[in-house]
């Protein structure tokens, strides 16, 4: 039986091949769809990560970024974890005030394997973000802080911040802060922390 070499159209047998430039040129949802393939190869992993990070600093439709930013950052955490150059770019994006919430929530994924100095750098960036937007970022910052691998000194700082938060958050947000605090307590914790929680909760307005 004889086969016609021209039977198969090249367009039917060749798959689309994407490169790193596509991560910046395509609409964000399409860029995120092809990102795993590029992040999954060693040769394109870092260039792809940097191309994605540039998207965090660029204007984009609000709906696209609301869904896209968390997915973008989860991809970086999944394929890279901690990388000093990537973490530097993420903290730069955070300092610009773009997509602050998703960046803060993703930071614990991006410091897996980092040393104490890098973790301390992240804590300082979180504290700075909190100064810029206390009301909007307090709860995400608290959540991220207690998901970081904190040493004793930084954990005490985080506990102090959480206790201060009890006095300023709205009543509806108090349970979130209390749960965060209680998850960090053990038999070695300062009893004054629990007493402070009880005192703040006692003053809540009944719903």
pLDDT band of residue 5 (cuts 50, 70, 90) is: low
Which class for 112: exposed (0-12), middle (13-18), buried (19 or more C-beta within 10 A)?
A: exposed
Among 3-7, 128-132, 175-179, the range with the most confident prediction by mean pLDDT is 128-132
Which class for 186: exposed (0-12), middle (13-18), buried (19 or more C-beta within 10 A)?
A: exposed
Cα 30 to the center of its chain, rounded Å:
21
pLDDT band of residue 13 (cuts 50, 70, 90) is: very low
Among 11-15, 23-27, 52-56, 82-86, the range with the most confident prediction by mean pLDDT is 82-86
> Under a CB-based contact definition with an 8 Å cutoff, are residues 115 and 146 in contact?
no
């Amino acid at each position: 039986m004889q086969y016609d070499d021209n039977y198969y159209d090249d367009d039917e047998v060749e798959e689309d091949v994407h490169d790193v430039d596509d991560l910046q040129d395509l609409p964000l949802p399409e860029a995120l769809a092809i990102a795993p393939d590029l992040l999954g190869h060693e040769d394109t992993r870092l260039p792809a990560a940097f191309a994605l990070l540039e998207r965090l600093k660029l204007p984009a439709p609000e709906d696209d970024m609301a869904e896209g930013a968390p997915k973008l950052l989860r991809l970086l955490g999944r394929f890279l974890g901690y990388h000093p150059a990537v973490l530097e770019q993420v903290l730069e994006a955070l300092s610009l005030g773009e997509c602050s919430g998703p960046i803060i929530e993703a930071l614990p994924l991006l410091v897996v394997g980092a040393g104490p100095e890098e973790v301390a750098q992240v804590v300082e960036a979180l504290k700075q973000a909190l100064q810029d937007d206390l009301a909007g970022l307090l709860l995400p910052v608290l959540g991220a802080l207690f998901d970081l691998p904190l040493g004793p000194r930084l954990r005490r700082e985080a506990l102090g911040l959480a206790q201060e938060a009890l006095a300023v958050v709205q009543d509806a947000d108090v349970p979130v802060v209390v749960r965060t605090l209680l998850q960090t307590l053990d038999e070695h914790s300062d009893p004054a922390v629990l007493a402070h929680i009880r005192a703040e909760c006692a003053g809540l307005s009944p719903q």
